[in-house]
Structure 1
């Protein structure tokens, strides 16, 4: 297994997004089939009398208002490829008013030790330079539509690869009633796309461009110089204004503060646009996790003042040389996260370490610090949100375990998806623990 065989297109193969237009639309079940499945799902929880009553309700619904709703749903489904995705985003995710961190995001440690790369403080910036460079490679492949389309069963089952476009340059913007996705990423075919990156730490935010003037990626050595400059500022200068912590309030409060930030000045509106549209985001976290469990925990509750919580994907670099990634789930699913993580691991495993001795002669990439205009009201909100974030640090417990007894091939023999299987196991564990 190597990255070329998994990710790189061969000559004449369809590009990353070719299947998106030809895939069949999401099937819409018949009303009767939906109601049968609903009844089967409630069987374990109802008494005979309750189930009999439920059956009466189901039959009345099927012959009455249910039929009318199904007719409207059929018309709705006829005009789009996926009849449920808008509703799923809005009602399953975007109407939730909980803070994204630590309750809703996806988090995973970046395991470099498994590919024989030490995770130490001394190697922090060099490893991060490599990690960022290969992330930019992945961005470049997605931009040029050169990643093999998502598929399974040896390529016979095709999937949409459209969510690759929401891994980069994407943010979940806050709304007073419900949030919404803002996506700035474009393929080469679609037009110019943002090529700048954002680095944050100790409440401060910096930006730099990831492309040379000829369109090629900046090198790991050039990235290292940027990181050294940022790290020096963070180590020897005061903490910043900590505006990113506002993104970790409840969604309605953050929406109000988000509007206030933009009302204050054009500078603030432009700063927000730069952060939300950046190709990749890196956050320095001053914590020093000692295990993959702690890496994952600090990923969702570490330095709140330095993580722009709305971004669809963020690389977190801990002070002791460990790394993690955090993702916003409504922007994309775990398939994209796993694809990215494997690409980066294989890239760092297969690609020789850069010649760091050439760093002294590398070009210096322009670096700019981003700052906000703040009024007294927002300064108070920053301090209030700091206290609120500290109060909920222990709300979520994170464990990190490796299960090796069997995998998805065994699960599929029971006609279950691994996600469904894990959910059933959790429900069974709860029932056995609480006897209900």
Structure 2
């Protein structure tokens, strides 16, 4: 083992003849190469910090400015208008420095100040340009003159300069603005109007008015003060109070998952799939460390914030009694692996180089073949991360703060990421592929409730039949960031690394690789009892979860766009219609507060905002769904407007949330805020877009598509719906709810979504409708070996 080699690298023994010094040259070489790799990474980070720090200029532009100033001075003109002479007067007097040399030094100092001023000016201009969002609200073909100048002149690209690194735009992104409290309350009342009767709405209007005229302005003043000081007035509180202070299980309630290819399994060999997948993740980490990942540009020109990428690897959520914390380490040269109740440390570097996929497969196979048994209490230890947070925090402090348990726990928490080698087979298979897909989703979300480490930033699951998947912790980043990583891993695995004819990874194996290290534990009986209690809590939560995953293949965004509709608005209205029909079937006939996640990454350190999809317009349309096509378009346009408002910092919920946090800090109660933040989200939705379309050839290889990912329901009597629009003719849905609620059912809701999609297409575009057509049967699962 590598750490064993390091332990014996330097030994000495006291003998009668003196001190016997022993050196292990192999171990010393390993230490040297490991240190060399670490210093290379530090130099790369330093270089990137310099490049990013002067963006949109480049370090070489400093030399250009210096040469230009010196050349101008050579022509006996003074471009500094006397500043160079002033600088020369204040230089320390030195006998060894001639007057000419002092002039050159003064010119270099002036050039540097001029260069820094130009960088500051360019950044300021870029920030002002990126603060312009009116283009988002304008219809195609009806663009204002200001937007035409902004887009046609490509001013953003002009001031963006050269090819940016991942974090190049961070210093130029605008801060998230604090909306006027009057506007937020007006939009809030508009959003809840369809959910309340006249008496209830009048009461809520009165509460809002009292809040605005009294406590609201005081809280708003504190928010504006924070917005001046902080990069983002929402994100730190959002992470702290929404995620880290939650004391209930993060499994199902917070974590989410991503699926493998739907119709293709590249290899049926578990170790081989693990080899390529792990290697792909590590290649992504290398690109991330070097900042070679391209920043995400909206409409190919408007940059989005990239700060969430910083904590992707070597990150773990640490439990606490009052609040958890997110701990991030700079580097890790190993991963943590779980198999049949045992935890292993797998080194992924040898002699300073990254192991090849074939070598990782070899090491994984060693773990699969390891006949050792789990230590007492080890097998279900991961249940601690799946249960309530306070018991886990107390157990961690009492039993995992010293000795062998601390060393083993540190190994898991400081690992690059976590891998589970699952003995189950999952995917779309068997006589009932639909049911198998549902089981696959549940397995990724919670597994056996003890065979994932839910606190890690993400855990990779490799199944016995070669299928894989991913489970991610939510506090450190949102789903699009993890989805970017997952897309890269899937594409690299299949299209770049590949497999040989037998289904094994390509490449050779260094047989001298140290064996993976099995972690040791000493779990006392009292700790084992708490593990059992946490497992019981998690198991009850998992058993109550009802899941349904399906691919809608009758039509996709292609036909929706032909109807001149936004695909997202179309799907959201279908979800509203489906939910309404479900409630009608239970004699309730009601709408519900609907959550749709929208990103706010147009702003620095932005995360998400809520699009309240249930609006007056959508409810009016649904009530008259069989009467008027005009209402459909009106509801769609309203949804698009709400989405754009959320993206541009004019949403409702994050502003109200921060006002509530300030009120708690001040120790004052607001009946209005208390009621607003206690309203249940019975329909929680999120779209997972494909961000790196260039990695997948959906035209020639339509079978290489992922089904996306999903999450659990937010309300006990509600639904969690994740959907992904794939290509032109496919929409994937992931629906979750709870068995304990008699009024909800994932399959029942899925059936209503399918019907609503067909009905809406028939209503909007009868000439394109295929309402009587059955869904196309999916292709069979393929094995490319």
The TM-score with structure 1 as length reference comes to 0.86
- Quick one: structure 1 residues 210 and 38, their matched pair in 2 at CA, closer, same or farther if it must change by over 3 Å? same
Query: Equivalent residue for 1:64?
Result: 214
Distance 2:214 2:240 in 1: 27
Inter-CA distance 424–271: structure 2 relative to 1 (3 Å threshold): farther
Matched, 1:16 2:148: no
Cα drift, residue 195 of structure 1: 2.2
Task: Please say if 1:345 is aligned against 2:490.
Answer: yes
In the TM superposition, what whole-angstrom CA distance separates every residue of 1:211-260 from its partner, at most 9, and x where no partner exists?
2333x311112101210110012xx3324412222211111221222222
Q: Secondary structure at the match of 2:471?
A: strand
2:354 pairs, out of 217, 232, 238, with 217
Give the equivalent residue in structure 2 for 1:199: 337
Q: Deviations over 1:371-415 (max 9, x none)?
A: 222222102222333344433332112222224533498599767
Q: Is the 8 A contact 2:359 2:509 kept in 1?
A: no
Q: Which has the larger radius of gyration?
A: 2
Please say if 1:102 is aligned against 2:240: no
Q: Which residue of 2 aligns with 1:392?
A: 541
In 1, Cα distance between equivalents of 2:366 and 2:196:
63
Structure 1 residues 407 and 270: alpha-carbon distance in aligned structure 2, compared to 1, 3 A threshold: farther
1:139-288 matches, within 5 Å, as 139-154=285-300, 156-184=301-329, 186=330, 193-214=331-352, 216-233=353-370, 236-240=371-375, 241-242=378-379, 243-263=381-401, 265-288=402-425
Q: Following the alignment from structure 1 to structure 2, what is the Cα–Cα distance between the partners of residues 298 and 384? A: 21
Whether the aligned pair in 1 keeps the contact of 2:498 and 2:506 (CA below 8 Å) is no
- Structure 2 counterpart of 1:86: 236
- Residues 1:333 and 1:431: Cα distance change in structure 2 (over 3 Å): same
Alignment partner of 2:542: what SS? coil
Gaps of 5+ in 2: 1-160, 429-436, 584-588, 591-785
Mapped partners of 2:409, 2:282: distance in 1: 22
Alpha-carbon contact 2:419-2:461 (below 8 Å) kept: yes
Counterpart-to-counterpart distance in 1, 2:337 and 2:496: 24
CA contact (8 A) 1:249 1:385 kept: yes
- Decide whether the 8 Å contact of 2:387 with 2:535 is kept in 1: no
Gap runs ≥5 in structure 1: 1-10, 187-192
User: Given the superposition, is the C-alpha separation of residues 363 and 26 from structure 1 closer, same or farther in structure 2, using an over 3 Å criterion?
Assistant: farther
Shift in Å at residue 354 of structure 1? 5.4
- 1:362, distance to aligned residue in structure 2 (A): 4.6
1:135 to 267, 273, 281: 281
Q: Residues 398-436 of structure 1, C-alpha deviation per residue, up to 9 Å, x if partnerless?
A: 2222245334985997679x4x87666545433331222
**What residue in structure 2 maps to residue 74 of structure 1?**
224
Alignment partners' CA distance in 2, 1:58 and 1:102: 34
Task: Report the RMSD for the aligned CA atoms in angstroms.
Answer: 2.7
> Contact between 2:276 and 2:493, CA under 8 Å: does it hold in 1?
yes
Alpha-carbon spacing, 1:384–1:62, altered in 2? closer, same or farther (3 Å): closer
The verdict on how the C-alpha distance between 1:290 and 1:422 changes in structure 2, with shifts beyond 3 A counting, is same
Count of residue pairs brought into register by the alignment: 408
Structure 2: distance between partners of 1:97 and 1:327: 18
The 5 Å alignment of 1:371-386 reads 371-386=520-535
> For 2:534 and 2:168, how far apart are their aligned partners in 1?
45
- Once residues 87 and 361 of structure 1 are traced to their aligned partners in structure 2, the CA distance between those partners, rounded to angstroms, is 49
Greater relative contact order, per chain length (Cα 8 Å cut-off, separation 6+): 1
CA distance in 2: counterparts of 1:270 and 1:238, whole angstroms: 20
Deviation, 1:209, is 2.3
Q: CA 1:262–1:271 in structure 2 vs 1: closer, same or farther (change >3 Å)?
A: same
Provide, for residues 38-68 of structure 1, a one-character-per-residue CA deviation record: whole Å limited to 9, x for no partner.
Answer: 1111111222233223222222221211011
TM-score, structure 2 as length reference: 0.49
CA drift at 1:348 = 2.3
212 and 78 in structure 1: CA distance in 2 versus 1, 3 angstrom threshold: same
Q: Which aligned pairs between 1:23-34 and structure 2 lie closer than 5 A?
A: 23-34=173-184
Cα offset, 1:149, TM superposition = 0.9
**What SS class does the counterpart of residue 385 from structure 2 fall into?**
helix
